[in-house]
């Protein structure tokens, strides 16, 4: 337990602030890590200590901390037009520019973009669009949306229902109706003994088709997937998985939604994860790296088929009755537009492709560690899964908190990572250098060795 001084920032945080994704009792005991500034891949706490931000915040600060051009873009727009909305035929000039730019960058032909303020809001919008689309086409029964176990699509009532993680449902009375979950395509965890990766991918596709048939194809409207499953543990799909999935969706006239909130804007080595895995979505959601997370903004891109149905139905009803006060807010839009310009001018895709091999090599280097079951990743995102028994893949019991302890011990080494159960995730800023990657994993190695020592001290290691 940390010694928390009265009236300190930590004490005031405990007194007044409810944190997301946090054990409130543990927070009262240990207090927060309070950060005060950042530069590049580093952030600094209130005592001046530097940490490598191995998660780019929450998968999001793609250009690192302290990018002056983004600050200046925000200030310019604040002075010019600090706010306007997009309701009733109105918008700001910079919002128009951003919409045009995004449609030009889309991995497949898209028609329009709708702006929101977070990945959750974007995917909540997606759900409403899917339902509106089905009604517009006179298909009132075709409303079910298939997500996947371990998927992460947000935390609103509807998007938390899409999210396939038990703790996002427990005691929130979720999921809501019309949301169902297919199998998780994690070969290491769910592949059968003797089953090849290709066979596993085929089984996942067969299972999806059986689910569609069991539910009734006339009731299934859409399928949503992250190219790489992020908050579910950085799960890279097995080879050929999406090649098998997409024809099934077409066969039953099911919309394909790509959730690019984490993968979008360079993370996998292409501008979108859809390009990396050859996806052809009808709808695409994006956020996070759209503005390097300097200001909140997200987008939903829809293709012409979806737009035409929405267009005609809005004329029938008299409006497309959806939107947010801050949709297309000009200040975040200006920052997003500047972010996209920086990606192009600095050729961020070339940067990612140049350092990704070193990042992936460093990940794989831990495969032989006695605590490590699997290393996995692509581009500049990855995870290292800790297990009790390497041979049997037996996990630690959740209540033992091994992943949490590992993240805590890494933090003591000056590295911020994220424990997703017992998988330690890495998603550094895209600007990271090869030398900085080496330093990040050197700190991780110390934290991992300290975790192994702790596991043995606690008697948690396999016999």
Instruction: With a cut of 90, say whether residue 461 has pLDDT above it.
Output: no
pLDDT in tens, 25-58: 999 999 999 999 999 999 999 999 999 999 999 9
Confidence of residue 80 (pLDDT cuts 50, 70, 90): very high
Residues of the chain with pLDDT > 70, as a percent, come to: 99
CA–CA distance, 413 with 232 (Å, rounded to integer)? 25
Neighbouring C-alpha atoms within 13 Å toward the C-beta of 199: 8
Region 377-396 average pLDDT: 97
The CATH label, of 3.10.105.10, 3.40.50.2000, 3.40.50.920, 3.40.640.10, for the domain at 69-345 is 3.40.640.10
pLDDT in tens, 305-347: 999 999 999 999 999 999 999 999 999 999 999 999 999 999 9
On whether the CB atoms of residues 400 and 388 are closer than 8 A, the answer is no
- Residue 379's CB is within 10 A of a number of other CB atoms, namely 24
Per the model's pLDDT, the better-predicted residue between 462 and 359 turns out to be 359
Which residues touch 199 (CB under 8 Å, ≥6 apart)? none
pLDDT at 218 over 60: yes
Interatomic CA distance for residues 301 and 401, integer angstroms: 39
Region 415-425 average pLDDT: 97
Domain 33-66+348-457 has CATH 1.10.3430.10: no
Given a cut of 60, whether residue 220 has pLDDT beyond it is yes
* Number of C-beta neighbours around residue 49 at 10 A: 11
Taking the alpha carbons of 18, 22, 27, 30 in that order, is the dihedral positive or negative?
negative
- Domain chopping of the chain, boundaries: 33-66+348-457, 69-345
For residue 345, the model assigns a pLDDT of 98
**pLDDT mean over 443-452:** 98
- Please tell me the distance from the alpha carbon of residue 119 to that of residue 253, in angstroms, as a whole number: 26
Q: Report the distance separating Cα 420 and Cα 412, nearest Å.
A: 18
Q: Got the DSSP string for 293-347?
A: TSS--EEEEE-HHHHHHHHHHHHHHSS-----TTTT-HHHHHHHHHHHHHHHHTT
Checking if the pLDDT of 66 tops 80, the result is yes
* Mean of pLDDT over the chain: 97
Q: Strands 255-259 and 220-225, how do they pair?
A: parallel
Q: In the prediction, which pLDDT does 200 show?
A: 98
Residue 249 CA to residue 283 CA, distance in Å, equals 13
pLDDT at residue number 2: 63
What average pLDDT score do residues 444-451 get?
Answer: 98
Number of helices (H), then strands (E), belonging to the chain: the values are 15, 15
Instruction: List, in sequence order, every beta strand (DSSP E) within 20-148.
Output: 35-39, 42-45, 50-53, 112-116, 144-148
At 122-146, the pLDDT tens digits run: 999 999 999 999 999 999 999 999 9
> Which pLDDT belongs to residue 115?
98
How many other C-beta atoms can be found within 10 angstroms of the C-beta atom of residue 390? 16
β-sheet with 50-53: strand ranges across? 35-39, 42-45, 50-53, 415-416
Q: Measured between alpha carbons, how far is 168 from 382 in angstroms, rounded to an integer?
A: 22
Task: Give the pLDDT score at 462.
Answer: 79
Distance CA 187, CA 185 (A): 6
> In this predicted structure, which of 269-278, 390-399, 454-463 has the lowest mean pLDDT?
454-463
Transcribe 121-157 into DSSP letters.
HHHHHHHHHHHHHHHHTT-TT--EEEEETT----SSH
- Each residue's pLDDT tens digit, 169-208: 999 999 999 999 999 999 999 999 999 999 999 999 999 9
Low-confidence winner among 20-29, 67-76, 92-101 (lowest mean pLDDT): 20-29
- Is the per-residue pLDDT at 439 higher than 70? yes
**Is 463 a residue whose pLDDT tops 80?**
no
């Amino acid at each position: 337990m940390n010694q928390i001084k009265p009236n300190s920032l930590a004490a005031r945080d405990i007194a007044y602030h409810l944190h997301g994704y946090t054990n409130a009792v543990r927070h009262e005991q240990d207090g927060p890590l309070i950060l005060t500034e950042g530069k590049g891949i580093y952030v600094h706490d209130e005592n001046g200590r530097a940490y490598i931000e191995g998660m780019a915040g929450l998968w999001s600060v793609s250009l690192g901390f302290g990018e002056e051009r983004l600050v200046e873009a925000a200030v310019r727009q604040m002075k010019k037009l600090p706010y306007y909305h997009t309701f009733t035929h109105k918008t700001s000039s910079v919002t128009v520019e951003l919409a045009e730019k995004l449609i030009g960058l889309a991995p497949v032909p898209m028609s329009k973009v709708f702006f929101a303020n977070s990945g959750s809001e974007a995917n909540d919008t997606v759900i409403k669009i899917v339902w509106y689309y089905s009604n517009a086409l006179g298909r009132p029964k075709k409303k079910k949306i298939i997500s996947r176990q371990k998927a992460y699509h947000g935390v609103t009532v509807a998007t938390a229902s899409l999210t396939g993680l038990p703790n996002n449902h427990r005691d929130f009375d979720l999921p809501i109706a019309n949301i169902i979950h297919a199998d998780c395509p994690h070969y290491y965890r769910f592949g059968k003994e003797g089953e090849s990766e290709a066979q596993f991918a085929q089984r996942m596709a067969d299972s999806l088709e059986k689910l569609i048939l069991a539910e009734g194809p006339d009731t299934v409207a859409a399928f949503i997937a992250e190219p790489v499953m992020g908050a579910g543990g950085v799960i890279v799909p097995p080879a050929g998985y999406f090649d098998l999935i997409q024809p099934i969706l077409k066969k039953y006239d099911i919309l394909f939604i790509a959730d690019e909130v984490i993968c979008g804007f360079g993370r996998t080595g292409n501008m979108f994860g859809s390009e990396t895995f050859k996806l052809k979505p009808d709808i695409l959601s994006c956020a996070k790296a759209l503005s390097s997370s300097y200001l909140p903004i997200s987008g939903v891109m829809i293709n012409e088929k979806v737009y035409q149905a929405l267009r005609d139905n809005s004329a029938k009803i008299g409006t497309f009755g959806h939107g947010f006060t801050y949709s297309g807010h000009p200040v975040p839009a200006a920052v997003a537009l500047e972010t996209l310009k920086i990606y192009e001018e600095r050729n961020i895709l070339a940067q990612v492709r140049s350092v990704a091999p070193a990042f992936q090599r460093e990940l794989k280097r831990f495969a032989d560690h006695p605590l490590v079951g699997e290393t996995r990743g692509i581009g500049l995102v990855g995870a290292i899964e800790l297990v009790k028994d390497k041979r049997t893949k037996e996990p630690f019991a959740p209540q033992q908190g091994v992943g949490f302890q590992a993240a805590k011990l890494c933090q003591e080494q000056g590295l911020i990572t994220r424990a997703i159960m017992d998988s330690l995730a890495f998603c550094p800023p895209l600007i990271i250098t090869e030398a900085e990657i080496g330093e990040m994993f050197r700190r991780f190695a110390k934290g991992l060795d300290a975790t192994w020592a702790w596991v043995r001290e606690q008697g948690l290691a396999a016999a």
